[in-house]
Amino acid sequence: MTATLGRHALGRGPALALALLLGAGACGGGTVADPFRPPGETQIRIEVTNLNYNDATLHARRGGERHRLGIVTGKSNATYVMSWPLSLPLQVEIDLLAGSSCVTRPLQVDPGDIVQLQIDVELRNDPDCTPIRSR
């Protein structure tokens, strides 16, 4: 069972919304360990909605590291899972095919969190995504 315990949004408009959903324990207050997950390994899930017509390549930034998540085609959704052993800030780089690139502001993410990212149609006008200079 998953419940929305907290929500953090980037910006005041519908542009780029990076929200945090925290997992809740099962009824009865206890949690059940996943027998298929190695002890000590924790993960986060990143759910992406691409409202833009262009494909977007995504990279996650955490603690000085950069990890490729994948490509979300235009006007579609994708979900990514990555190892996340500690409570650290997360930023997501968004690189639109034949378009602009930017990086979201940092969001504190804990192991087990679900992060929702929405890529708006007009990424370059989004105040919550800092443009990245040409590579």
pLDDT of residue 6: 31
Report d(CA 32, CA 6) in Å as an integer. 22
Report d(CA 25, CA 129) in Å as an integer. 33
* 13 vs 77, residue with greater confidence: 77
* Confidence tier at 42 by pLDDT (50, 70, 90): very high
Q: Are strands 43-50 and 114-119 parallel, antiparallel or unpaired?
A: parallel
Q: Say if pTM beats, i.e. exceeds, 0.75.
A: no
SS3 (DSSP) at 135:
coil
Domains in the chain, please, with CATH? 17-24+42-130 (2.60.40.2890)
In the chain, how many H helices and how many E strands?
A: 0, 10
Mean pLDDT of 35-54: 83
Q: Is the separation of the CB atoms in 54 and 99 below 8 Å?
A: yes
pLDDT at 7 exceeding the cut of 70:
no
Average model confidence (pLDDT) for the chain?
Answer: 78
Highest mean pLDDT among 32-41, 112-121, 124-133 belongs to 112-121
Report d(CA 84, CA 13) in Å as an integer. 29
DSSP letter at 106 equals P
Whole-number CA gyration radius for the chain? 15
Q: Is the separation of the CB atoms in 64 and 88 below 8 Å?
A: no
Report d(CA 14, CA 112) in Å as an integer. 26
